[in-house]
């Protein structure tokens, strides 16, 4: 380009810094645009920038972009690099492309904890809990110490599959390892106990947690289980705790309305639904609901409260699989034509 060598180096460094900055601040799409422009301008990418680009595609579930970056990893000779390979593995796992993740995983010679966590989390989140547990066993035999992320994945897998005893076992292991449970650990455990009908046990766990007075979401998860099991007393207690912290939360009012409807207390239902209609004027963004057979179903982003959340997730995965099959069939038709 006619630019002096030192100026080229400085410019490349600035481009990389801008790209990594956007990647780490969560602006995944913008970060990828910077990365592509760097490639187009002929800059030599390193394992760090490739890893950041892969992290960006994992953030917004961009499998096609991730596969293109995989080719770039191979082309640049970074297949054996733990930084690039670890991010590549994480990208495949978060996209649910577990076969791709599996292949990358077994090509990494010295797998670190991040690699194991990516695989365990990938299998756990996409419904293959047995494989997640099997990998955890292999990880322990490999003499790696699990961390809080490992246990989030394991407890989440137990919660999705309703494996109460397994969940209690991993909770005990986590405590034995000296790991203080965080919000996500409690989310999985309260959900698991609640859906299994162990409501008093869930209340006891929640009340002893550091989140009892500052995280109404946990009480809402318990309330949702009470609606499904028609337990009025525990449900009212859970609703009171949630509303004490967040009095204007519409999803709590909806769940409480459903609880009273299940108990046949229609005068209270009418009262609550009147309040809900008043709140709908200032409806929260990202909140949607539908009424089926006198029960209101409410959904919001990152919400685990719905009693049939696992069925919803399973249906979404089924639809995603159908869309992928349709997409590949269309591509085959286009290429054969």
CB 177 within 8 A of CB 210: no
Instruction: Give me the pLDDT at residue 303, please.
Output: 60
For the chain, how many structural domains are there in total?
2
Q: For the residues of 171-234, what is the DSSP string, one character each? A: HHHHHHTTPPP-HHHHHHHHHHHHHTT-HHHHHHHHHTSTTTTT-HHHHHHHHHHHHHHT-HHH
Phi, psi values for residue 309, rounded to 5°: -60, -35
What gap in Å lies between CA 112 and CA 144, rounded to an integer?
8
Q: Is residue 163 part of a domain?
A: no
Mean pLDDT of the chain: 80
Q: Is residue 99 part of a domain?
A: yes
Length of the chain (residues): 337
| Domain stop point among 93, 110, 127 | 110
Continuous segment of H or E residues that includes residue 160: helix 148-161
Q: What is the pTM of this model?
A: 0.71
Q: Could you read off the pLDDT of 277-328 as tens digits, one per residue?
A: 887 765 554 556 565 655 656 666 556 666 666 777 777 777 877 777 776 6
| Domain stop point among 95, 110, 125 | 110
Distance of CA 322 to the CA centre of its chain: 21
Most trustworthy range by pLDDT among 62-66, 71-75, 90-94, 163-167: 163-167
What gap in Å lies between CA 331 and CA 39, rounded to an integer?
27
CB 228 within 8 A of CB 306: no
Q: Is residue 301 part of a domain?
A: yes
Q: Is residue 302 part of a domain?
A: yes
- Cβ neighbours of residue 36 closer than 8 Å, sequence gap 6 or more: none
Range of the domain at 95: 1-110
Q: Is residue 136 part of a domain?
A: no
Q: Is residue 206 part of a domain?
A: no
User: Which CATH number does the domain housing residue 303 bear?
Assistant: 1.25.40
Q: Is residue 128 part of a domain?
A: no
| Domain stop point among 55, 87, 110 | 110
Q: Is the pLDDT score of 59 beyond 80? A: no
Q: Is residue 304 part of a domain?
A: yes
CB 188 within 8 A of CB 167: yes
Which carries the bigger pLDDT value, residue 120 or residue 317?
Answer: 120
Least confident of 142-146, 149-153, 294-298: 294-298
Q: Is the pLDDT score of 237 beyond 70? A: yes
Residue 141 pLDDT level (bands cut at 50, 70, 90) = very high
Q: Is the pLDDT score of 73 beyond 80? A: no
CB 129 within 8 A of CB 123: yes
Instruction: Give me the pLDDT at residue 333, please.
Output: 59
Instruction: Give me the pLDDT at residue 3, please.
Output: 41
Phi, psi values for residue 230, rounded to 5°: 60, 45
Phi, psi values for residue 46, rounded to 5°: -105, 175
Comparing C-alpha atoms, which of 22, 25, 65, 74 is closest to residue 45? 74
């Amino acid at each position: 380009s006619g630019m002096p060598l030192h100026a080229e180096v400085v410019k490349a460094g600035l481009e990389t810094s801008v790209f990594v900055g956007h990647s780490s601040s969560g602006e995944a799409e913008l970060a990828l645009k910077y990365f592509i422009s760097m490639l187009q301008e002929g800059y030599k990418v390193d394992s760090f920038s490739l890893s950041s680009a892969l992290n960006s595609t994992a953030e917004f579930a961009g499998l096609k972009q991730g596969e293109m970056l995989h080719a770039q990893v191979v082309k640049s000779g970074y297949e054996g690099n733990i930084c690039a390979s670890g991010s590549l593995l994480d990208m495949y796992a978060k996209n649910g492309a577990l076969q791709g993740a599996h292949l990358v995983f077994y090509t990494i010679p010295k797998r670190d904890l991040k690699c194991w966590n990516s695989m365990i989390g990938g299998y756990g989140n996409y419904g293959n809990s047995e494989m997640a547990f099997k990998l955890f066993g292999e990880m322990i035999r490999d003499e790696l110490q699990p961390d809080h992320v490992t246990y989030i994945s394991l407890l989440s897998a137990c919660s999705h599959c309703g494996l109460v005893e397994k969940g209690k076992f991993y909770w005990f292991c986590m405590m034995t390892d000296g790991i203080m449970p965080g919000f996500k650990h409690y989310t999985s455990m309260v959900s698991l106990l609640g859906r299994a009908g162990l409501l008093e046990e869930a209340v006891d766990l929640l009340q002893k947690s550091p989140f009892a007075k500052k995280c109404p979401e946990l009480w809402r998860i318990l309330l949702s289980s009470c609606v499904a099991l028609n337990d009025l007393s525990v449900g009212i207690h859970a609703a009171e705790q949630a509303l004490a912290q967040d009095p204007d939360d519409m999803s709590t009012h909806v769940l409480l309305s459903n609880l009273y409807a299940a108990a046949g207390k229609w005068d209270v239902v009418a009262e609550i639904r009147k309040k809900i209609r008043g709140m709908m004027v200032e409806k929260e963004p990202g909140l949607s609901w539908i009424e089926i057979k006198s029960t209101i179903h409410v959904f919001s982003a990152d919400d685990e409260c719905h009693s049939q959340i696992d069925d919803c997730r399973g249906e979404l995965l089924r639809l995603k699989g159908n869309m992928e099959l349709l997409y590949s069939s269309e591509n085959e038709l286009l290429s054969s034509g």
